[in-house]
Chains A and B, each alone.
Chain A
Amino acid sequence: MTSTLTPVRSKRSALTKGQLPKYAPYAVLAGALILGAAVLALIGFNPFGWGLVSAILFAVGLVSWSAAVEGSRKAKDKLATCLVVGSFLVALLPLVSVIWTVLVNGIPGLLDPGFLTTSMNGVTGAFDNKAVESGGPVMGGIYHALLGTVQITLLATVISVPVGLLTAIYLVEYGHDGRLAKAITFFVDVMTGIPSIVAGLFAAAFFFAVVGPGTKTGAVAAVALSVLMIPVVVRSSEEMLKIVPNELREAAYALGVRKWRTILKVVIPTAISGIASGVTLAIARVIGETAPILVTAGFATSINSNVFGGWMASLPTFIYTQILNPTSPSNPGPSSQRAWGAALVLIILVMVLNLVARLIARIFAPKKGR
């Protein structure tokens, strides 16, 4: 904003008096970087400390210069700008750090022979000890976990999408902002905030009570994930159905089409791209959930392709158990290598799902009325 107000005058006219020259931020930045390097050289150099010290010096330098030349109001403005930009840079740090850590640690794990095609069946601590001592390849892989994740997530999607979509249709087409619709909207919002582990405990408690104590299968985990997924599907589908122009509905009614056929043939096809991308985002959200699977599907080291019987592994719980209970307690190295490899696979899955959601939304974007 301020830049547009700066008059384009040469030299120091009366109008530009009391303003910092345009090169001021760059000059202060250069000074801060040099001074920061000098300070850090005295106490031991590291890039993180350099960035931190330079940022503080930059803010102090620019603000005090501005206070001297421009007065306190402009100085406060500069200080606020520094803080806001600084907070954004601080927020980027963990993102970069997480992705870097996963890449550095995960790529060796991913390159293990058979990492994606074998399970942990029969891989014992002895193998890991041998891999560490004689430098052989790390055995074992994530096939069973990948299979479990895909099956559990698919089943959760099959449960959540019809329920979520029908609820959204009720809210938009039939609810008429009545008391029930308001209650559903409110409780869907509340459900969004259910801690994932409580959803897991609910599914566990439900199946303990109905099927029998200690029931842990992939299906229980799918129910737990559905509890987390349904509100997300409802919210996104509701938003999408709402932006379908009313003229389309009215045109269909005018032709004598029944309401349910209007919804199926006109409203949903118009909004399908948004609904599909919302569902994909919901899948991306639950595919990384660990806690609910931990308490509902248990752990498994071998391939189990039956969702309705027996314990099942999944990528997140695989990561969790490999870190917390390494296969070979004396040599946790191979286990953590497998865990990071699995983490890399999981992040790639989530990112691909996010990307797919964006692509769906962009390519099949609904034609907006007006």
Chain B
Amino acid sequence: MTATTLTSTQGAGRAGDKVFSGAALAAGCLILAVLFGVALFLVVQAVPALTAPADKIQGGQGFFAYIWPIVIGTLFAAVIALVIATPIAIGVALFISHFAPRGLASGLGYVVDLLAAIPSVVYGAWGAAFLAKEISPAYGWLAANMGWLPIFEGPASTTGKTILTAGIVLAVMVLPIITSLSREIFLQTPKLHEEAALALGATRWEMIKMAVLPFARPGIISAIMLGLGRALGETMAVALVLSSGALTASLIQSGNQTIAAEIALNFPEASGLKVSTLIAAGLVLFVITLAVNMIARWVITRHKDFSGAN
């Protein structure tokens, strides 16, 4: 396109303008079409599973009975990941934005970004081969001493391949997302607010509590939501780390399953109605993450004018 129009005459130059803006517009619309297509094709391929008689679906009790334990399992793993990752991520972001020496700050930020660069399958392999083994004694201790809590009910898994281990691996994976977004927002706190707080005699922590955190709150919330979106859809960490099973409340026994891992483990060998069932499960996951992400983006845009987040 470009090679021919570059050497053309004045009249064709006008046509070049049309072609170019048309191509740009088409590319933009293609993106909308792809997102629409994702939803459409998932629905089309999922319909057989949604309309099939209940006894044909895996488990024999219909699609709903099949999907709800793994939806709960997905939420379980994501919530564990967020509970662990959020305080650490905010601490790391504060460290880089307000505590670390100026010269080191950007280098340290890059180190945390390295966490995001490691492929998820490597995290999965690490979680399965290293973390699960190292952490299983701690599960034994939890079962013996905290067993009265339903979430730490024994007997603890001896392999350590539990939903809690998967949650910890997920926490490591969402940590850089929450950190980098919160860091950006912390750095945008108006300097005058910070200096005013310090000038009134506030300690550094009081300054952060009074000036930085209130300013950054909407940004932190949306960063957490984006981390949640990532944790919900993460596949490999769970597929490799968790030895899956029925839904259980205990975090330190093997059991539970997430949608993404269920698809990854079963799709390659699936055929017929099973494919439809898994695609329908993917559709459910798509809807959940879409809702989470849209809420997060909406929070960002709503506060964009005065927080500068995004």
Residues in A lying within 8 Å of B, measured CB to CB: 1-2, 73-74, 76-77, 79-81, 83-88, 90-92, 94-95, 97-98, 101-102, 105, 162-167, 169-171, 173-175, 180-181, 183-184, 186-199, 201-202, 204-206, 208-209, 213-214, 227, 230-231, 234, 258-261, 263-264, 284, 287-291, 294-295, 298-299, 316, 319-320, 323-324, 336, 339-340, 343, 346-347, 350-351, 354
Partner of B234, one of A94, A180, A195, A208: A195
The answer to whether A201 touches B279, judged by C-beta atoms less than 8 angstroms apart, is: yes
Which single residue of chain A is at the shortest CB-CB distance from B173? Answer: A94
Q: Contacts A195-B260, A227-B34; is A260 near B16 (CB within 8 Å)?
A: yes
The answer to whether A188 touches B31, judged by C-beta atoms less than 8 angstroms apart, is: yes
Which 6 A-B residue pairings sit nearest by Cβ, starting from the closest? A195-B233, A288-B119, A87-B91, A166-B27, A260-B20, A193-B293
Which single residue of chain B is at the shortest CB-CB distance from A102? Answer: B122
Flag B24-51 by CB within 8 Å of A: 1 or 0 each.
1111111110110110011011000000
The answer to whether B204 touches A290, judged by C-beta atoms less than 8 angstroms apart, is: no
Partner of A208, one of B45, B90, B117: B45
Query: Which residues from chain A contact B290 at a C-beta distance below 8 Å?
Result: 190, 193-194
Contacting residues of chain B (92-127) with chain A, CB-CB under 8 angstroms? 92, 94-96, 99-100, 108, 111-112, 114-115, 117-126
* A326 CA / B285 CA spacing, docked (Å): 30
* A205 CA / B290 CA spacing, docked (Å): 19
In the complex, what's the smallest C-beta–C-beta distance from A113 to chain B, in angstroms? 23
Query: Which residues from chain B contact A2 at a C-beta distance below 8 Å?
Result: 203-204
Q: Contacts A194-B286, A291-B260; is A91 near B112 (CB within 8 Å)?
A: yes
The answer to whether A170 touches B118, judged by C-beta atoms less than 8 angstroms apart, is: no
Q: Which stretch in B142-150, B153-161, B224-232 binds the other chain?
A: B224-232
Partner of A180, one of B13, B27, B28, B240: B28
Interface size for B (C-beta < 8 A) is 97
Query: Which residues from chain B contact A186 at a C-beta distance below 8 Å?
Result: 297, 301
The answer to whether A260 touches B17, judged by C-beta atoms less than 8 angstroms apart, is: yes
B4 at the interface (CB under 8 A from A): no
Main SS at interface, chain A: helix
* A173 CA / B17 CA spacing, docked (Å): 12
What 7 additional pairs, Cβ within 8 angstroms, besides A202-B37, A261-B13? A88-B91, A91-B112, A184-B31, A193-B230, A201-B278, A227-B38, A294-B267
The answer to whether A174 touches B25, judged by C-beta atoms less than 8 angstroms apart, is: yes
* A171 CA / B31 CA spacing, docked (Å): 12
The answer to whether A81 touches B16, judged by C-beta atoms less than 8 angstroms apart, is: no
Main SS at interface, chain B: helix
Which single residue of chain B is at the shortest CB-CB distance from A87? Answer: B91
Query: Which residues from chain A contact B95 at a C-beta distance below 8 Å?
Result: 84-85, 87-88
Query: Which residues from chain A contact B89 at a C-beta distance below 8 Å?
Result: 87, 91
Query: Which residues from chain A contact B100 at a C-beta distance below 8 Å?
Result: 88
Which single residue of chain A is at the shortest CB-CB distance from B225? Answer: A193
Query: Which residues from chain A contact B119 at a C-beta distance below 8 Å?
Result: 287-290, 316, 343, 346-347, 350
Chain A CB count within 10 A is highest, among B16, B30, B34, B42, for B34
The answer to whether B21 touches A291, judged by C-beta atoms less than 8 angstroms apart, is: no
* A263 CA / B21 CA spacing, docked (Å): 11
Subset of 22 A-B contacts with CB under 8 Å = A73-B206, A84-B91, A84-B99, A87-B87, A91-B175, A105-B129, A166-B23, A183-B32, A187-B32, A188-B31, A196-B233, A197-B235, A197-B260, A205-B45, A208-B45, A261-B6, A291-B236, A294-B268, A316-B121, A319-B121, A320-B240, A323-B129
The answer to whether B233 touches A194, judged by C-beta atoms less than 8 angstroms apart, is: yes
* A320 CA / B128 CA spacing, docked (Å): 11
The answer to whether A98 touches B126, judged by C-beta atoms less than 8 angstroms apart, is: yes
The answer to whether B13 touches A258, judged by C-beta atoms less than 8 angstroms apart, is: yes
* A209 CA / B45 CA spacing, docked (Å): 8
Chain A CB count within 10 A is highest, among B88, B118, B128, for B118
Contacting residues of chain B (279-298) with chain A, CB-CB under 8 angstroms? 279, 282, 285-286, 289-290, 292-294, 296-297
Count of A-B contacts judged by CB separation below 8 Å:
283
Which single residue of chain B is at the shortest CB-CB distance from A227? Answer: B34
Query: Which residues from chain A contact B282 at a C-beta distance below 8 Å?
Result: 197-198, 201
The answer to whether B32 touches A284, judged by C-beta atoms less than 8 angstroms apart, is: no
* A181 CA / B285 CA spacing, docked (Å): 27
Which single residue of chain A is at the shortest CB-CB distance from B203? Answer: A77
Query: Which residues from chain B contact A284 at a C-beta distance below 8 Å?
Result: 117
Query: Which residues from chain B contact A171 at a C-beta distance below 8 Å?
Result: 28
Q: Contacts A80-B205, A234-B31, A299-B268; is A95 near B115 (CB within 8 Å)?
A: yes
The answer to whether B235 touches A263, judged by C-beta atoms less than 8 angstroms apart, is: no
Chain B CB count within 10 A is highest, among A188, A231, A294, A324, for A294
Partner of A295, one of B108, B268, B294: B268
* A298 CA / B264 CA spacing, docked (Å): 11
* A158 CA / B133 CA spacing, docked (Å): 42
Query: Which residues from chain B contact A231 at a C-beta distance below 8 Å?
Result: 31
* A299 CA / B29 CA spacing, docked (Å): 34
B198 at the interface (CB under 8 A from A): yes
Partner of A197, one of B19, B99, B233: B233
The answer to whether B179 touches A91, judged by C-beta atoms less than 8 angstroms apart, is: yes
The answer to whether B285 touches A101, judged by C-beta atoms less than 8 angstroms apart, is: no
Query: Which residues from chain A contact B114 at a C-beta distance below 8 Å?
Result: 95, 351, 354
The answer to whether B99 touches A167, judged by C-beta atoms less than 8 angstroms apart, is: no
In the complex, what's the smallest C-beta–C-beta distance from A91 to chain B, in angstroms? 5
Q: Contacts A294-B267, A319-B122; is A205 near B42 (CB within 8 Å)?
A: yes
* A206 CA / B34 CA spacing, docked (Å): 11
In the complex, what's the smallest C-beta–C-beta distance from B239 to chain A, in angstroms? 8
* A188 CA / B28 CA spacing, docked (Å): 9
Which single residue of chain A is at the shortest CB-CB distance from B228? Answer: A193
The answer to whether A323 touches B205, judged by C-beta atoms less than 8 angstroms apart, is: no
Partner of A343, one of B2, B121, B230, B260: B121
Q: Contacts A189-B297, A194-B286; is A91 near B115 (CB within 8 Å)?
A: yes
The answer to whether A201 touches B122, judged by C-beta atoms less than 8 angstroms apart, is: no
